[in-house]
Amino acid sequence: MTFKKWVKKVYGLFVEDSLLAALSLLALAVVFLISHIGLSRSAGLILFILISVSIVLSVLRA
């Protein structure tokens, strides 16, 4: 198995919809900023909301 194929296989193990993966990573980046400006307690709720919205968006465009 070539390296490229192996990378593809590993990628496929974690990602099916690249939009959903990208949005969830973006959500993590957003809460990283939010929690570092002193809102570390509300950041949890924001993360949950952002990921939930990402799920809905992902399935709606399927």
Partner 1 sequence: MNLYVLVASFLASSVEFIEALSIVLAAGVVYGFRFALRGAIYAVITLGLLVAVLGEGILRIVPLHILQGIVGVLLLLFGLKWIRKAILRYAGLKSLHDEDEAYQKQISRLKSSNKGSFEAQATAYNGVLLEGLEVVVIILTIGSGAHAFGSAIAGAAVGLIVVLSLGVAFRAPLARVPENTLKFVVGVMLTSFGTYWAGQSMGIRWPLSDATLLLLIAGYIIVSAMSVRILKKGGVGAS
Burial label for 54, CB within 10 Å (0-12, 13-18, 19+), is buried
In the complex, the smallest distance separating the C-beta of residue 10 from partner 1, rounded to whole angstroms, is 9
Where does this chain bind partner 1 (CB under 8 A)?
13-17, 20-21, 24-25, 28, 31-32, 35-36, 40-41, 43-44, 47-48, 51-52, 54-56, 58-60, 62
Gap between the Cα atoms of 41 and 12, Å rounded: 34
Quick one: 4 or 60, whose CB is closer to partner 1?
60
Give the residue with the Cβ less far from partner 1, 8 or 40: 40
Which whole-number Å values give the CA distances from 51 to 6, 33, 55, in the listed order? 28, 16, 6
